[in-house]
């Protein structure tokens, strides 16, 4: 629903409705001056890709060096599997990044509680049951790499939606990993 709104905002900021008038400079200015706020600012990438595909501007640049260090999680074997999954995922939008973060949480949990299961091939029904039980007892801030934004809630029980997402991530991960064998 935001994409049409963002497109309209871009046309208004540009003071011209034809897509061919949307320039690289406009997209850069929108980002630099934060002319769109909140979720709208996250939607600028797609219109720029579309306008670039039509040949009217440069494609959006991938920003590097401005984000936090890439998250890690647990044993190197687990990390390698998760990175391979992330690199080959067919999920769209931010979903692979969110699932990757959940899988890295699993990796950190494994390092502490079940180091023998750091290789996904070593998972058993008992490992899965232990993970589900751990999720049920998990609190905000448990097995995270960074605590930015959770200080005020650290130690509180996870909400049901967060609990649901953790086993779901593992289920999807193992489903996709079966195809590699």
40 has a pLDDT exceeding 90: no
> Is 46 a domain residue?
yes
Q: Residue 129: count other Cβ atoms within 10 Å of its Cβ.
A: 10
Q: Which two tokens stand for residue 140?
A: 């905000």
Q: Residue 117 and residue 97: Cα distance in Å, rounded?
A: 23
* Radius of gyration (C-alpha) of the chain in whole angstroms: 21
Number of domains comprising the chain: 2
Higher pLDDT, 72 or 35: 35
> Is 58 a domain residue?
no
- Mean pLDDT on 35-40: 79
> Is 6 a domain residue?
yes
- Mean pLDDT on 159-170: 92
pLDDT at 68: 45
Shared-domain flag, residues 88 and 143? yes
Shared-domain flag, residues 91 and 22? no
Please report which residue ranges of the chain form alpha helices under DSSP H: 2-14, 24-32, 39-42, 45-53, 76-88, 95-113, 125-137, 160-178
pLDDT-based confidence at 89, cuts 50/70/90? Answer: confident
Say which residues have a Cβ less than 8 Å from residue 13's Cβ, sequence separation at least 6. Answer: 26, 29, 30, 35
Q: Residue 56 and residue 112: Cα distance in Å, rounded?
A: 52
> Is 64 a domain residue?
no
Shared-domain flag, residues 109 and 45? no
Hey, what's the torsion of the CAs at 24, 27, 31, 33, to 10 degrees? 90
Q: Select from 15, 14, 17 the least CA-distant residue to 28.
A: 14
The pLDDT tens digits of the residues spanning 49-82 come to 889 999 999 988 765 444 445 677 778 899 899 9
- What are the residues facing 139 on neighbouring strands? 157
> Is 70 a domain residue?
no
Shared-domain flag, residues 32 and 92? no
Shared-domain flag, residues 85 and 159? yes
> Is 28 a domain residue?
yes
> Is 24 a domain residue?
yes
pLDDT at 66: 47
Hey, what's the torsion of the CAs at 96, 137, 109, 162, to 10 degrees? 10
Shared-domain flag, residues 46 and 110? no
87 has a pLDDT exceeding 60: yes
- Mean pLDDT on 4-21: 92
Average pLDDT over the chain, rounded to an integer:
86
Q: Which residue range forms the structural domain that includes residue 39?
A: 2-53
Shared-domain flag, residues 100 and 163? yes
pLDDT at 64: 45
The pLDDT tens digits of the residues spanning 124-163 come to 999 999 999 999 999 998 988 777 677 788 889 999 988 9
> Is 143 a domain residue?
yes
- What are the residues facing 104 on neighbouring strands? none
């Amino acid at each position: 629903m935001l994409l049409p709104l963002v497109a309209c905002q871009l046309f208004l900021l540009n003071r011209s409705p034809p897509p061919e008038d949307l320039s690289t400079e406009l997209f850069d200015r929108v980002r630099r001056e934060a002319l769109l706020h909140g979720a709208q600012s996250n939607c600028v990438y797609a219109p720029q890709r579309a306008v670039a595909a039509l040949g009217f501007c440069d494609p959006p640049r991938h920003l590097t060096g401005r984000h936090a260090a890439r998250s890690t999680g647990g044993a190197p074997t687990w990390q390698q599997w998760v990175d391979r999954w992330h690199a080959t995922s067919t999920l769209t939008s931010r979903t692979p990044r969110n699932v990757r973060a959940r899988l890295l949480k699993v990796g950190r949990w494994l390092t502490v509680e079940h180091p023998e299961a750091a290789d996904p091939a070593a998972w058993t029904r008992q490992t899965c049951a232990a993970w589900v039980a751990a999720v049920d007892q998990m609190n905000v801030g448990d097995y995270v790499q960074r605590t930015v934004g959770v200080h005020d809630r650290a130690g509180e029980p996870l909400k049901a939606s967060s609990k649901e997402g953790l086993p779901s991530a593992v289920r999807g991960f193992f489903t996709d990993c079966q195809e590699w064998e």
